[in-house]
Amino acid sequence: MRICLSLVNTPERGEAGYNDAIETTESVCQVGSPALVDEDDGQKEGSYDRLIGVIYSNGSPTSLNQILE
C-alpha cells in the first residue's frame, strides 16, 4: 500500500530532502512493524493512486506526519 502523508509536503524522488525524509520514515516506521493509518476524510485518494492519511507506528501517540512537518 502506498500512502501520501496528509498535510505534509514531503519531497518526491530526486528532490532535495528526499533521502532525509526516507531515513526518518524508516527509523520511525520500520518495515514489518505494526502501523495505524487514519485515512483523511477530506481527501480520499491522492495522485498516483496513493491513500492519503496520518500514520502512527508502534503505538506511538505522535504521528509520522507530525515528525516530518
pLDDT class of 3 with cuts at 50, 70, 90: confident
pLDDT class of 44 with cuts at 50, 70, 90: low
| Strand blocks (E) in the chain | 3-5, 35-39, 51-57
3-68 CATH fold: OB fold (Dihydrolipoamide Acetyltransferase, E2P) (2.40.50)
Question: 51-68 pLDDT, tens per residue?
Answer: 899 999 888 878 888 888
Radius of gyration of the chain (CA): 12
Cell 506526519, located at residue: 65
Stated pTM of the model = 0.74
Return the percentage of the chain with pLDDT > 90, whole number. 19
Which pLDDT value is given to residue 45?
67
Domain ranges in the chain?
3-68
Spatial distance between the Cα atoms of 66 and 11, rounded to a whole number of angstroms? 15
